[in-house]
A and B are shown apart, each in its own frame.
Chain A
Amino acid sequence: MAERSFAREVEQLRVPAGSEFRGEGILAVTKALLEAGVGYVTGYQGSPISHLMDVLADAQPILQELGVYFEPAASEAAAAAALAASVNYPVRGAVTWKSTVGTNVASDALANLASGGVTGGALVIVGEDYGEGSSIMQERSHAFAMKSQMWLLDPRPQLPAIVKAVHDGFALSEASRTPVMLELRIRSCHLHGRFITRENRRPDFTLKDALEHPRRDLSRIVLPPASFAHEREKLEQRWPAAQRFILEHQLNELLPGELEHLGVVMLGGLYNNTLRALELLDLADMFGASRVPLYVLNVAYPLVEAEVLRFCQGKRAVLVVEEGQPDYHEQHLHAILRRAGLATAVHGKDLLPKGGDYTVDALRRGLEGFLRQHHPAAFAPAVSLPMPRPAAKPAVPEPAPSATPAAAAPPLPPRPPGLCVGCPERPIFSSLKLVERELGPHHVAADIGCHLFSIMPPFNLGATTMGYGLGASSASAFNAGAMLGARRRAIAFMGDGGFWHNGLSSGIANAVFNKHDNVFVIVDNHYTSATGGQDIPSSRAANAQRSTQHPIERAVRGVGVEWVRTITRTYDVKAMQGALREALSSREPGPKVVIAQSECMLNRQRREKPQRRAALQAGARQVQERFGVDAAVCSGDHACMRVSGCPSLTLAPSGDALKPDPVAHVDEHCVACGHCGEVADAAVLCPSFYKVHKVANAGRWERWRHALSRRVLGALQRAQWRRRAARALYPLEAQP
Chain B
Amino acid sequence: MKPQRLHLAILALGGQGGGVLVDWIVALAERAGWTAQATSVAGVAQRTGATIYYLELVEPTPGREPVLALMPVPGEVDVLIAAELMEAGRAVERGLVTPTRTTLIASSHRTYAVQEKLAPGNGIADSAAVLAHVQRQARRSVIADMQTLAQQQGSVISASLFGALAGSGALPFALQDYEAVVQASGVGVQPSLAALRAAATLAREMGASAAPVQPPAHETVETAPRPLPAQAAAPALQPLLQRVRAEFPAPAWNWLGEGLARVVDWQDLDYGHDYLDRVAALARRDDGAQGHALSVEAARWIAVAMSYDDVIRVAELKSRGERSARLRREIGARADEPLGSEEFFHPRLEEALATLPRRLADWLDGSPRLRAWLAPRLDRGRRIRSQGLAGHLQLRLVAGLRRWRRGSRRHAQEGALLRRWLDEVDQALDAGDGALAIELLRCRRLVKGYSDTHERGNGRFMLLLRAAAQLRGRDGGAAALARLRDAALRDAEGQALSAELAAQGLG
Contact = CB atoms under 8 A, between A and B. Distances in A.
Interface of A: 22, 47-48, 129, 132-135, 157-158, 186-188, 190-193, 271-273, 275-276, 280, 285-288, 357, 359-361, 364, 388, 390, 393-394, 396, 400-406, 408-420, 450, 453, 456-458, 530, 624-626, 628, 630, 632-633, 635-639, 641-642, 645, 647, 649-662, 668, 677, 680-696, 698, 702-703, 705-707, 709-710, 712-714, 716-718, 720-721, 724-733, 735-736
Contacts of B87: 415
15 contacts: A192-B36, A192-B39, A413-B112, A417-B47, A419-B48, A530-B44, A653-B220, A657-B224, A658-B258, A661-B121, A668-B151, A687-B345, A703-B338, A720-B396, A725-B234
Given A453-B47, A642-B492, A653 B389 contact: no
Nearest to A157: B70
B412 interface: no
Given A410-B129, A635-B450, A651-B112, A660 B445 contact: yes
Interface residues of B, number: 152
A658 B303 contact: yes
A727 to B, nearest CB: 5
B92 A360 contact: no
A423 to B, nearest CB: 9
Contacts of A133: 41-43, 45, 52
Interface in B428-464: 445, 448-454, 457
Nearest to B3: A286
B481 to A, nearest CB: 17
Interface centre among A450, A633, A645, A689 (most CB of B within 10 A): A633
B47 A420 contact: yes
B291 interface: no
Given A133-B52, A709-B388, 6 more contacts: A133-B43, A388-B1, A655-B223, A690-B343, A713-B389, A728-B232
Given A394-B100, A662-B122, A635 B449 contact: yes
B226 A657 contact: yes
A361 B96 CA distance: 12
Contacts of B171: none
Most chain A beta-carbon neighbours within 10 Å: one of B66, B234, B492: B234
B396 to A, nearest CB: 7
Given A157-B70, A660-B445, A730-B261, A418 B48 contact: yes
B343 A405 contact: no
Contact of B117 (A409, A651, A659, A683): A651
Contacts of A712: 389
B507 interface: no
A681 B26 contact: no
A416 B37 CA distance: 27
Contacts of B39: 187-188, 190-192
B303 A630 contact: no
B62 interface: no
Contacts of A276: 67-69, 73
Contact of B115 (A388, A413, A659): A413
Given A401-B98, A410-B133, A360 B451 contact: no
A191 B26 CA distance: 12
B194 interface: no
B30 A275 contact: no
A652 B217 CA distance: 11
B330 interface: yes
Pick the most buried of B70, B86, B137: most chain A CB atoms within 10 A of its CB. Answer: B70
A457 B117 CA distance: 10
B389 A709 contact: yes
B388 A693 contact: no
Contacts of A408: 133
B43 to A, nearest CB: 4
B49 A684 contact: no
A281 B294 CA distance: 64
Interface stretch (B203-211, B282-290, B313-321, B355-363): B313-321
B386 A726 contact: no
B124 A662 contact: yes
Given A272-B68, A280-B76, A692-B341, A717 B43 contact: no
B255 to A, nearest CB: 7
B392 A716 contact: yes
B331 A656 contact: no
Contact of B223 (A357, A649, A653): A653
B338 A47 contact: no
Contact of B93 (A402, A530, A707): A402
B40 A190 contact: yes
B44 A412 contact: no
A686 B22 CA distance: 43
A272 B314 CA distance: 63
A132 B94 CA distance: 13
A246 to B, nearest CB: 23
B317 A630 contact: yes
B234 A727 contact: yes
Given A22-B30, A693-B341, A706-B338, A684 B257 contact: no
A357 B39 CA distance: 15
Nearest to B97: A405
Contacts of B119: 638
A415 B326 CA distance: 32
Contacts of A129: 43
Interface in B257-277: 257-262, 264-265, 268-269
A84 B374 CA distance: 70
B118 interface: yes
A409 B392 contact: no
A684 B346 contact: yes
**Residue of A630, A694, A703, A725 with most partner-chain B CB within 10 A:** A694
Contacts of B100: 394
A657 B237 contact: no
Nearest to B381: A681
Contacts of A624: 331
Nearest to B340: A693
Contacts of B191: none
B339 interface: yes
Nearest to A660: B222
A694 B337 contact: yes
Contacts of B220: 653
B20 to A, nearest CB: 12
B353 to A, nearest CB: 15
A186 B340 contact: no
A624 B338 CA distance: 11
B245 interface: no
Interface in B163-220: 218, 220
A410 B453 contact: no
A576 B320 CA distance: 35
B497 interface: no
B94 A402 contact: yes
B236 interface: yes
